[in-house]
Amino acid sequence: MNDQRSAAATEPAAAAIAVPEAVTALDAAATDPGRPGGAGDPGAPGAGTWAARRAALAPIALVVAGGLSVQFGSAVAALLMPKAGALGVVTLRLAAAALILLVVCRPKVRGHSRADWGTVLAFGVAMGGMNTLFYLALDRIPLGIAVTLEVLGPLVLSVVASRRLVNVVWAGLALVGVVLLGGGGFDRLDPLGAAFALAAGAMWAAYIVFSARTGRRFPQADGLALAMVVAAVLSLPLGVLESGAKLAVPSTLALGAAVAVLSSVLPYTLELMALRRLPAPTFAVMMSLEPAIAAGAGFLILDQALSTTDALAIALVIGASIGAVRSRSGGARREE
């Protein structure tokens, strides 16, 4: 599921983001067998088994850190909503992320065809729609449940793309989880909030498709940076209409920048570093755990406790996502 999203969007984005030299040096030391202090240096302290374990655990730790960053960034966004509104937070996040990517990537705007611009425009619309709808959902329902409903979009895309009968079972398992979340009717959750989350999932699926196409048409992170500008421009009128001058308050601007870094810039960097040494199916399975991470962030920061039924529903959706990913990767290996 999320292997498509990361390989097509997060990886090129992170490639253009400068990683601190100290982190890069540690990363290289763990993977370069010829580097002093690396995994293959016989004179390094704890060489051998310890070095191999460290090299194996490092990318997993990076993925977990990226997931924590994304979901805790969403929790910070929820705290900011009373000050700036859901649409205002979306505007702040997208505008800050676009500014950072423009400065870092310096994308070229010349030499692209009309089809190239059409693709990046569609990517920007999908990105803006995904973020706007998700934050509107977050303003009405708990973070963990919002992410669980949103992740159904990529799950459905994965099931359709695989065209394997076994994935119908995983889709059914996810459906059971959704029914449990509804508790017999989504009015318990706020039906509009649930609808926003499901719509955000549909836009996430579109985001995956157009991010892949953009990655093929634009070098490095140029396409992502330009699409982020499109998303920011589209969200700006909505944010201004809802929040107006509140968006210019220094404390609000600072929190908006923090959300952009936590939810966009930092995860892209960490995920790229992980993808260099972690198989895509393994990465996707770990990304499927995001609803659980979101539930933890909601509990710790927003005091959003889940019922036993909600926890079981989230576990079912996570299990369905992992099963779909593993079935897809297994089918790809057999076809090879």
Which contacts of 297-300 are long-range, i.e. CB under 8 A and separated by 24 or more positions?
Answer: 297/68, 297/71, 297/72, 297/74, 297/75, 297/143, 297/144, 298/75, 298/78, 298/142, 298/143, 298/144, 299/144, 300/75
**What does the block give as tokens for 211?**
């991010």
Taken in order 274, 131, 145, 306, the sign of the CA dihedral is positive
Q: In the numeric block, which tokens belong to residue 258?
A: 């923090």
Banded pLDDT at 316 (limits 50, 70, 90)? confident
Q: pLDDT digits over 93-125, tens only? A: 999 989 988 998 889 888 889 999 999 999 999
Q: Round to whole Å and give the CA distance between 11 and 270.
A: 10
Helices 191-217 + 152-162 axis angle, to 10: 50
For residue 335, the model assigns a pLDDT of 43
End-to-end CA distance of the chain: 20
Find out whether 144 and 309 touch, Cβ atoms under 8 Å: no
What per-residue confidence (pLDDT) applies to 145?
Answer: 87
The more confident residue out of 44 and 70 is 70
Inform me whether the pLDDT recorded for 313 exceeds 50. yes
pLDDT higher than threshold 60 for residue 260: yes
275 pLDDT above the threshold of 70: no
Q: Average pLDDT, stretch 265-275? A: 73
Question: What percentage of residues in the chain have a pLDDT greater than 90?
Answer: 20
What pLDDT is attached to residue 17? 31
Tens of pLDDT, residues 217-258: 888 778 888 999 999 999 999 999 988 888 889 989 998 889
Residue 295: closest CA among 308, 311, 318: 311
Angle among Cα 277, 283, 289 to the nearest 5 degrees reads 145
For the stretch 45-79, pLDDT in tens is: 544 576 666 766 777 788 788 888 888 888 888 88
Alpha-carbon distance of 65 to 60, in angstroms, equals 9
